[in-house]
Structure 1
């Protein structure tokens, strides 16, 4: 699956639009890791537990978007975007979306 943030795929021609595709993931961390992350805010620096949480959520959201595109017969996704929001404390939602297309 070709995934680009641009409206076209360089060197390819869009033959068919398959429509909007999306995938999302709501992710939270284990309470023990939340406590460790809270302690890290005292000393400063990167909070690896949350970095990993966001990475996992992005991968799941993109994977779900790709599956929806495959179900529609697409071989590429153009204009792909990621958005995030907080659902509740220490929980995030990642949404991946774009336009599924068939390119040649």
Structure 2
């Protein structure tokens, strides 16, 4: 399945729009990661535990969005966007959404 954050995919023509598709995941922080993040705040630098958590969350949301698109018969998702929101103290949602389409190769 082709994924794009643009309105079209070069070399392809959208033959059908199937509608909005989305995938989300809600994750909470890990106490061990919080401890390490607190220590890292003292000396500065990347919070690798949180970077990994966000990467895993983005991938899971994308996978769920793709699964929904496949159920609709799509072979591509265009205009993909990400959104995050706090659900509760220490827990956040990561949402991936886009437009499921059927694309053909351009003539």
Question: What TM bracket, shorter-length normalisation?
Answer: over 0.9
Q: Displaced runs of 4+ in structure 1, greater than 3 A?
A: none
Aligned to 1:44: 44
Q: Which runs of 5+ in 1 are unaligned?
A: none
TM-score (norm 2): 0.91
Match of 2:93 in 1: 93
Offset at 1:31? 1.1
Which residue of the partner structure matches residue 82 of structure 1? 82
Matched, 1:3 2:3: yes
- Displacement, 1:55? 0.4
Listed as ranges, the gaps of 5+ residues in structure 2 are: none
Aligned length: 104
Cα RMSD for the two superposed structures: 1.0
In 2, distance between residues paired with 1:28 and 1:52?
Answer: 13
Whether 1:33 and 2:28 are equivalent positions in the alignment is no
1:1-55 superposed Cα distances (whole Å, 9 cap, x missing partner): 1000111111101111111000001112321221111111111111011111100
The 8 Å contact of residues 21 and 98 in structure 1, kept in 2 or not, is answered as yes
Indicate the residue corresponding to 2:70 in structure 1.
70
Q: TM-score, normalised by structure 1?
A: 0.94
